[in-house]
Structure 1
Amino acid sequence: MPYQAAIQRSDPTALIFLVDQSGSMADRMAGSERTKAQFVSDVLNRTLMNLVTRCTKSDGVRDYFEIGVIGYGGSGAQNSFHGGLSSSLLHPISQIEANPLRVEDRRRKVDDGAGGFLEQSVKFPIWFEPKADGGTPMCAGITTAAEALAGWCDAHQQSYPPTVLHVTDGESTDGDPEALADTLRQFHTNDGNVLLLNLHVSAQNGQPVQFPSSDGALPDQYAKLLFRMSSELPKHLISVAQEKGIAVSFESRGFMFNAEAGEIVNFFDIGTRASQLR
């Protein structure tokens, strides 16, 4: 069965975060003072920090993952890592850990053990900056991801296949992306095809649609297009979603529509839960 290969240093997997950075990402999240671009940036940076933690063992950070971030907007599609990570698109997780742009002091609330909360200062590394301008060249973004993963799959045939987590809030402005998404999903290792998961970020209050098995509940052709572009969820990701209380089936696709803050967090967490680490 596919999607069962163990992830190990000799056979890592790849994660690409494909992020819409068009002008509409400057709209505020529903019920929030933060923009969609700011919220996605925070969740992405937290996800990278969590991945580093998952890969940290007694002997250091083990390179279970190779990670890239592609942003697309007014400047086209490009590597959204900067500084020491700007030279290439995909980097081992140990290089991610070693090359944040900066480390901020953030405040968070923690349980004080007596029914209340205390504010605690925590270090928060920043790798990815929010940006919102121009159109939505989704085709260019998907093409950039495909170009990176075609060669990666050829070189890592024993690995768990790559996962692309795509976040967008608008329709493509540089053509129909469906055929390009189909091509991206055809790249494969011996363990299965590339997984493409799509998330629509909402600025409106409304009921999110999480991992549907059909497009019947989706309101428009754009949502149905993103549904068709999405991979079916592998068995282990179905289990992760079910553990979070999300109703999914074996026909569910990796797509969320009208996602608000909580759904964005779940999307990144579920999408990065690849097979077992060794």
Structure 2
Amino acid sequence: MPYIAEISRSNPTAFLFLVDQSGSMDDKMSSGRSKAQQVADVLNRTLATLITRCTKSEGTRNYFDIGVIGYGANGAYNGFQGALGSSVLHPISAIEASPLRIEERQKKMDDGAGGVVEQSIKFPVWFEPHASGGTPMCQAITKAAEELVAWCDSHPNSYPPTVLHITDGESTDGDPEELATQIRQIQTGDGPVLMFNLHVSTSGANPVEFPAAETGLPDAYAKLLFRMSSPLPDHLIRFAQEKGFKVSMESRGFMFNADAVQIVDFFDIGTRASQLR
């Protein structure tokens, strides 16, 4: 049974985010923010959460290697800058040590008396929102595959990497389906790479969450992204069910027409790997 390897400092896992940064990501969501801004905020918050999961009394344990590949007007590129710009995948301790900046953000909090107050919090930023050009999805998946082949060769016994792909449009450099099939064939001894796909929408249509079949999906593009997605492993099925999603053994890691709330859930579920030691 795959996806059961214990995650440890000697056998970490990897999370690789593929983020569409094409021009259409500048469209505004119901939150009033652009899709690019919304995705960047959730990704930065997710990175902070992953650091917290790896933090023990003696410091940050390198349970995870993390990378971001953006794609848009400049092709496919490392989504990190500064000290993290030299390579795509980095141990979580390097992520913790190298944010681009720390922002002061206002967060609404319960005041304990039935009201709401704003509290200032520190918000680390590793990934910047951008939106320009076309959607070279095939180039991004190819770059991801190159990174993951090398990673799996170096970590043959680890829980396999997870690719979380966020997009709002169709590929402009070819059909990505065969490339997605190839990336899902890269593997460690614990199973093949997981690829989950999130379609970000401003349409206001109801999201489709973790479907079990492509029948009933609204169009050919939704069906394509469904076919590009991995089935959810057992432990992610259980976690999704705990969050209130109706998922089955056939459900795939795919959301269509996702809004701001679904983006948060997608990142949270997608980064719940197996047990940490």
Same topology, TM > 0.5: yes
State the match for 1:2 in structure 2.
2
Deviation at 1:208, TM superposition (A): 0.5
TM-score between both structures, scaled by the size of structure 2: 0.99
Unaligned runs of 5+ in 1: none
CA distance in 1, matches of 2:270, 2:123: 21
Asked if residue 142 in structure 1 is aligned to residue 141 in structure 2, the reply is yes
Question: TM-score w.r.t. structure 1 length?
Answer: 0.99
Find the residue that maps to 2:184 and give its secondary structure: helix
> What SS does structure 1 have at the residue aligned with 2:275?
coil
2:16 aligned with 1:16: yes
Equivalent in the alignment of 2:216: 217
SS in 2 for 1:109: strand
Q: Deviations over 1:13-71 (max 9, x none)?
A: 00000000000000011x22100000000000000000011111101010000000000
CA distance in 2, matches of 1:179, 1:186: 11
Q: Write out per-residue CA displacement over residues 104-134 of structure 1, whole angstroms, 9 at most, x where no aligned residue.
A: 0001011111111221111000000000000
1:177 aligns with 2:173: no
Cross-structure match for 2:265: 266
Paired residue secondary structure (1:129)? coil
Partner amino acid for 2:56? Answer: K
Aligned match of 1:188: 187
Q: Residue in 2 aligned with 1:90?
A: 89
RMSD of aligned alpha carbons: 0.6
Q: What is the rounded CA distance, in whole Å, between the counterparts of 1:167 and 1:180 in structure 2?
A: 16
Aligned partners of 2:14, 2:63: CA distance in 1, in Å?
9
Q: Look up the match of 2:58.
A: 59
Which residue pairs with 1:28 in the alignment?
A: 28
Q: How does 1:114-263 map to 2 (within 5 A)?
A: 114-263=113-262
Q: Give secondary structure in 2 for the equivalent of 1:100.
A: coil
Q: Quick one: distance in 2 between partners of 1:117 and 1:217?
A: 41
- Structure 1 stretches of 4+ moved >3 Å: none
- Separation in 1 of the partners of 2:138 and 2:44? 24
